[in-house]
Structure 1
């Protein structure tokens, strides 16, 4: 299995974990032990990184999808009685997604033999 395929599988798994964590009741949400904002930024950053590595020719679509996922998941929290949507949470998620996608694009662009695989 090549690196792009592994990144693709990881990206989709991470997105599933994010969706579960975002929409599940608070007592079922996994905790890493650090600041919740750091967890949000890291989760969206790592997921964006994996998607950018998996789909280097579609980096703008990946960025748009990650931002849409952050918005959609944050808004869906309004449907749960014990969850709440907050603008600061959305901003942190979007910042993490943008940094992750940007880092993935940069990584793929700088790899030897990449020949600009990641047309933006």
Structure 2
């Protein structure tokens, strides 16, 4: 498996964790503070977790199982925690969309790292 340059990998790791933190804030904040793009919420959820999944897969290619546990575990955990937030609601369908997006991103990011030519 090809390896990304160390500095780029560090930047990817920072971006992955910041992206996950942003998703946590957007998911668990009161509904009125949730950022929106104007797209349907299911598309936003799928894309958000696809991006974070891709970032984690590229940042931790040698630990892809751990990256999957973090991304997919966060998707499930955030949905469960929404039940505790007064203005939010956790739904199985929303969790499934997030899990699909995260899985797509993890696979795409992992394949991308494998196919990047070493320089």
> Normalization by structure 2: what TM-score?
0.91
Residue matched to 1:84: 89
Residue matched to 1:63: 68
Paired residue for 2:39, among 31, 34, 37?
A: 34
SS of 1:2's equivalent in the other structure is helix
- What are the ranges of 5 or more consecutive residues in structure 2 without an aligned counterpart? 1-5
Deviating beyond 3 angstroms after TM superposition, the runs of 4 or more aligned structure 1 residues are none
- What are the ranges of 5 or more consecutive residues in structure 1 without an aligned counterpart? 115-120
Structure 1 residues 1-120: aligned runs within 5 Å: 2-113=7-118
Distance 1:18 1:91 in 2: 16
Distance 2:69 2:13 in 1: 17
SS of 2:20's equivalent in the other structure is helix
Distance 1:3 1:53 in 2: 10
Cα RMSD (Å) of the superposition?
A: 1.3
Question: Which structure's relative contact order is higher, taking Cα pairs within 8 Å and 6+ residues apart?
Answer: 2
C-alpha distance after superposition, 1:74-115 (max 9, x if no partner): 00001011110101100000000000000011001111239x
Q: CA deviation at 1:7?
A: 1.1
Count how many residue pairs are aligned between Structure 1 and Structure 2: 114
Distance 2:65 2:108 in 1: 13
